[in-house]
Chains A and B, each alone.
Chain A
């Protein structure tokens, strides 16, 4: 028996580590509704707890939903395209933005939190636009927060509150909730666009492709 004991110990530790890892993974992907703090993302109806950031026509026949990462260059490239589409279609399009900061981008998470912190003061879209417009300026910084604070000042935010809110649990929860929602609908990278709930193929994510998809949806509304 003693001959096999070290291998039994090693196997037990291996299985223990694997089991603990799987349990952690599951709890992170599906937060338990009975966990101690009743934060919004821990409720069973986790994705509906936050009203999404939306602009355009409230009763528009087309909802264009982006899962974006403020530090992802293709997202920065897509931002002006989407603005043109919004301007072109006016009240016929409702544009929704959801956070999907990728771990490979060091400042994506804090940028998402900056946008959400601005949202707490009713200036989400102003910060959203600034972040994309100035992506190349803050992306290379070691600490981009001073630039975000400048943007906050420029768009008329209460700067002290903005600084505190950037790390507020409410803001972090909202970003995490968007990410979980993205994972649940099959988002794996950014930008990912949904038109009336249907994911746009990456190869169709050109100005023409987006317009074609919207026009098709207008002729044949989605669910």
Chain B
């Protein structure tokens, strides 16, 4: 499908950092993308834990909200037979990968990252609605994930604005 890559030639248009910018530029907001990558790791750990709990039928322990059983055992915890947590783990891993690539100057990754985080935000809003108005229960791990995604969304918006202002 693709021609063999020659050294130094990449189809992935790697953005070369400008002489006056940060060595691993991450566009104009390297710190923001580094934070995004770390947050994605936290979300990944959360989602992997919930996925394993789901697959093994274990009960996650909610120490704050007390609604883990009801939320994680509900019909809303799966989509087409696939645990939502497993989809979340894949999404968080993708966010981590994309944020890392942006940090290393791969400009194309920014757009995909923004789209992915937007999709995750919409899913999160739906899941928050389900917890608040349908199940009337919240689970600690879901709220942690929602917080991470809200912060990630903020980071993506701020980073985009900074980059647009700089261009």
Q: List residues of A whose CB falls within 8 A of some B CB.
A: 2-3, 5-6, 9-10, 13-14, 17, 20-21, 24-25, 28-29, 101-110, 142-143, 172, 176, 179, 183
Do A24 and B48 touch across chains, with their CB atoms under 8 A apart? yes
Contact A104 B104, beta carbon cutoff 8 Å? no
Inter-chain CA distance A29–B53, complex, in Å, is 10
CB distance from B54 to the nearest CB of A (A): 6
Q: Is the interface of A mostly helix, strand, loop or mixed?
A: helix
A172→B59 contact, CB < 8 A: yes
A141 to chain B, nearest CB (A): 11
B136–A28 touching, CB < 8 Å: no
| CA A29 to CA B56, docked complex, whole Å | 7
Residue among A2, A28, A106 making CB contact with B53, cutoff 8 Å: A28
B63 at the interface (CB under 8 A from A): no
A179–B57 touching, CB < 8 Å: yes
State whether A13 touches B56 (Cβ < 8 A): no
Complex formed: what's the CA distance from A103 to B69 in Å?
Answer: 9
- Within the assembled complex, what's the spacing in Å between the Cα atoms of A29 and B106? 41
- Residue in contact with A25 in the complex, picked from B56, B72, B97, B103, CB distance below 8 Å: B56
Contact with A along B85-105 (1 / 0, CB 8 A): 000010001001100110110
In the bound complex, CA of A142 to CA of B97 (Å): 39
B74 touches A106 (CB 8 A): yes
Bound complex: CA A168 to CA B14 (Å): 57
CB distance from A181 to the nearest CB of B (A): 12
Residues of B within 8 A of A14 (CB): 93
Q: How far is the CB of A8 from chain B (nearest CB, A)?
A: 10
Could you say which residues of chain A place their CB within 8 Å of the CB of B100?
Answer: 6, 9-10
- The answer on a CB contact under 8 Å between A28 and B101 is no
Q: B101 contacts A13, CB within 8 Å? A: no
Knowing A25-B52, A29-B56, say if A10 contacts B97 (CB, 8 Å): yes
CB closest chain-A residue, reference B54: A103
Further contacts, 16 of them, CB under 8 A, given A17-B89, A106-B73: A3-B14, A6-B103, A10-B97, A13-B44, A13-B96, A17-B44, A24-B48, A28-B52, A28-B56, A103-B73, A103-B77, A106-B75, A106-B135, A109-B73, A110-B70, A176-B57
